[in-house]
Amino acid sequence: MAEDPYKTLGIPREASTEAIRAAYRKLARKHHPDLNPGKPEAEAKFKAVSAANDLLSDPEKRARFDRGEIDADGQEQRPAGSYRQYAEQPTGAKYGARHGQRPEAEVFDDIFADIFEQRRRAESGPRRGRDESYRLAVPFLHAMEGATETLTLPDGRSLSVKIPPGVETGQVLRLRGQGGPGRNGGPAGDALIDLDVAEHSLFRREGFNLHLELPVTLREAVLGGPVLVPTPGGPLRVNLPEGSDTGRQIRLRGRGIAAHGKREAGDLLLTLRVLIGPADDALKTFLRDWKPEHPHDPRAGMEAAP
């Protein structure tokens, strides 16, 4: 909890606006951190003084504080006195002691006057509106297949945003003329839409291919057969070959990220994982009596590296 702002500024509670201002100025001059680079405690004091002033110099906030509606901490702190952090670095030499001269002043006038002149002219002439930036969250599959999303703008307008298939997080779509209005007959700015593609619980993207880990039962793995596979375009019947062990990859051509323009559709790569699930007595009995024709040791050649 910050100290009573009246105490911080050293003024009575009935102090006038002028008295507050005067007290603040006096203390700001004394404690401004850039004027006291050798006194680290000055920064904290200056912050306290500034916060007290921010509170008491605003009649509305002051009244609310006096009524007890807000406390002395109800203020956001503003950054102050960070010039010295830069000035103390070697690059600070740019503003070296000038010993009363202003050698470059005339040159500066010439070089920069026209920039300001251009600015003034630009302000009175037709001016293109500002580009406005927005963020749009896109569900994973909409980004893979392409979709049209609706973006509601802060001013209540809604924009229809056509998402081409294969977009990634960080990609920006530009909608011409949908940004800020132009001034003095200038054209409107653009809306820049920063896309944020969500992750998916099943599919993982790699380039324009998608990866899916597909659990299969022991029977499906050993005997093969038809299984139903979820794909971005909907469930697909896939015939597993016999002996589809864990780790086996199956490529479903053209079932990855949808084609767009000249780019062909990506593939969906299934990686199988055998999931035995709860074993019943029949399976246990079978395995106990089972004498494999080709016994093998899946751990052969496995040795812990030094």
Partner 1 sequence: MITLDLLCARFSRLNVEDLQDWIAEGHVRPERAAGDLVFSELDVERVRLILELRDDMAVNEEALPVVLSLLDQLYELRRRLRAMGVEPDFTA
Number of residues that bind partner 1 (CB under 8 A): 45
We find the least distance from the C-beta atom of residue 105 to partner 1, in angstroms, to be: 5
We find the least distance from the C-beta atom of residue 18 to partner 1, in angstroms, to be: 12
**SS3 string of 57-111?**
CCHHHHHHHHCCCCCCCCCCCCCCCCHHHHHCCHHHHHHCCCCCCCCCHHHHHHH
Residues 24-63 touching partner 1, rule: CB under 8 A, are 24-25, 28-29, 32, 34-35, 37-38, 40, 50, 53
We find the least distance from the C-beta atom of residue 51 to partner 1, in angstroms, to be: 13
In the block, residue with structure tokens 């203390």: 27
We find the least distance from the C-beta atom of residue 35 to partner 1, in angstroms, to be: 7
We find the least distance from the C-beta atom of residue 123 to partner 1, in angstroms, to be: 10
Q: Nearest CA to 138 among 203, 193, 208?
A: 193
The string over 260-286, giving b where at least 16 C-beta atoms fall within 10 Å of a residue's C-beta and e elsewhere, is: eeeeebbbbbbebebeeeeeeeeeeee
Tokens linked to 53: 């002033």
192 binds partner 1 (CB under 8 A): no
Smaller CB separation from partner 1, 98 or 296: 98
Q: CB–CB of 214/272 below 8 Å? A: yes
Which listed residue (67, 102, 262, 291) binds partner 1 by CB under 8 A?
Answer: 102
The string over 236-259, giving b where at least 16 C-beta atoms fall within 10 Å of a residue's C-beta and e elsewhere, is: eebebeeebeeebebebeebbbbe
We find the least distance from the C-beta atom of residue 118 to partner 1, in angstroms, to be: 8
Smaller CB separation from partner 1, 82 or 249: 82
Smaller CB separation from partner 1, 84 or 273: 84
Residues 171-190 touching partner 1, rule: CB under 8 A, are none
Kindly calculate the radius of gyration of the chain based on its CA atoms and give it in whole angstroms: 35
Helix%, strand%, coil% for the chain, nearest 5: 35, 20, 45
Span near partner 1 by CB under 8 A; candidates 74-82, 139-147, 166-174, 236-244: 74-82
Smaller CB separation from partner 1, 54 or 145: 54
Residues 105-124 touching partner 1, rule: CB under 8 A, are 105, 108-109, 111-113, 115-116, 118-119
Tokens linked to 129: 């509106």
| C-alpha to C-alpha distances, 278 to 77, 156, 283, nearest whole angstrom | 61, 55, 10
Smaller CB separation from partner 1, 50 or 244: 50
The dihedral over CA atoms of 58, 60, 63, 67, expressed in degrees to the nearest 10, equals -130
Smaller CB separation from partner 1, 67 or 94: 94
Smaller CB separation from partner 1, 108 or 286: 108
Residues 82-101 touching partner 1, rule: CB under 8 A, are 82-98, 100
- Strand order from edge to edge, sheet including 203-206: 203-206, 209-216, 268-274, 249-252
Binding residues for partner 1, rule: CB under 8 A, are: 24-25, 28-29, 32, 34-35, 37-38, 40, 50, 53, 79-98, 100, 102, 104-105, 108-109, 111-113, 115-116, 118-119
